[in-house]
Amino acid sequence: MKLVRSPRFWIGILISLLCLWLAFRKVPLAEFGAALAQANYLWLIPAVVAQFLAVFSRAQRWVVLLPGRGLVKETFWAHCIGFLFTNVLPFRMGEPARIIVLSSRTGIPVVQAAGTALVERILDLALIVILLVVVLPFVNVPPLVTQAGVTFGILVLAAVIGLVVVVRLRTLSERLLDWLLARLSFLPAAAIRARWGELVEGLAPLVRLRSGLSVILWTLISWFFSILIYYLVFLSFKPDARLIEAVFIVVALALAITIPSSPGFIGVFQYAGQQALVLPFGARYSQSEALAITMTAYLVYYIITTGLGVMALWKVGESFGSLWRLVTNRQPKTGKEELTSSGSEEIP
């Protein structure tokens, strides 16, 4: 299997194993078990509901960015399949999976769908940077972390400005592309122009007032539920948990999981979440308690999103293997193997 033979695969595995070792090396197993045993897991019931709502709000956001309405069930199940692929495969394979599945089921060009996914990621990063700037004055972190946050914020701002410029100056960008293609005659000019047009169409909703405000609102809602999940998990371990602790761990994890790792961010997630509590809030959280909280939050995320992903496979009438072949081939199926869409299906 090409995936297993890839050096990136084994680098990811090594990073995950290293992070797991770092997370557990100073944790007495008896203390870790005691922290898990003393938790009040009733708080996980609303956390599970919040996890579902976080996925749904992201699906609704994607609808706003797509051409046409009434696609929420398609974006929801595509997101769920994306979570499943990310959870069981390395390299964040969920991103191309959800894009290609949505394209196959709706007929929206892959590049256009990818453009909308790019807008989502940029907005998510922008919000993460804003949250980081808000919480940093209230947490005790090394100056290097603050400097890294500022640098990352500048890069995200530049990316947002770049997207807006590309869409606003679409005619100029197309002329520049034509000029470049005329000098690179060996390239397939017609195909590149078509893909560029699809990409710009995917970015266009960002600069339209109504859709732009709507997508920002759904971004805020989705991250509200993400933060709520962690706050509820915190309450199951510590009744006096503070909201700022949940915000900071969400920000830390969102940045940490960009590191290549094994399927489901195993290792990176646990170590980053643990240190996000121990470093700034060491007086309130021991290594053992921080790891217990992070592991519990991870299981809530992993079990719910994987379960939704398996359900999504049933809803679209496909197996994991067939979708894996579709993603790796990067082209829609045809004939009897085509992914079909049923307009009568509703979100449960």
Give tens-digit pLDDT for 40-76: 999 999 999 999 999 999 999 999 988 766 689 999 9
* Structural domain total, the chain: 1
* pLDDT tens digits for range 18-34: 999 999 998 999 999 99
Confirm if 282 and 289 have CB atoms less than 8 A apart: no
Residue 8 in domain: no
What confidence tens digit (pLDDT) does each residue in 253-270 have? 988 887 767 788 999 999
Please name which of 269, 227, 292, 328 lies closest in space to residue 41, comparing C-alpha atoms: 292
Residue 264 lies in a domain: yes
What does pLDDT average to over the chain? 84
pTM, two decimals, is 0.83
The verdict on residue 135 lying in a domain is yes
Q: How confident is the model at residue 347 (pLDDT cuts 50, 70, 90)?
A: very low
Among 94-108, 172-186, 295-309, name the most confident range: 295-309
Q: Which domain holds residue 225?
A: 25-329
In tens, the pLDDT along 104-130 reads 888 888 888 888 888 898 889 889 988
Residues 6+ apart with CB under 8 A from 345: 73, 315
Asked, for residue 341, whether it belongs to a domain, the answer is no
pLDDT, mean of residues 91-107 = 88
Name which residue leads in pLDDT, 288 or 179. Answer: 288
33's CB contacts (< 8 A; 6+ apart) are none
Does residue 336 fall inside a structural domain?
Answer: no
Give the pLDDT score at 340.
37
Element (H, E) at 191: helix 189-203
Does some domain include residue 17? no
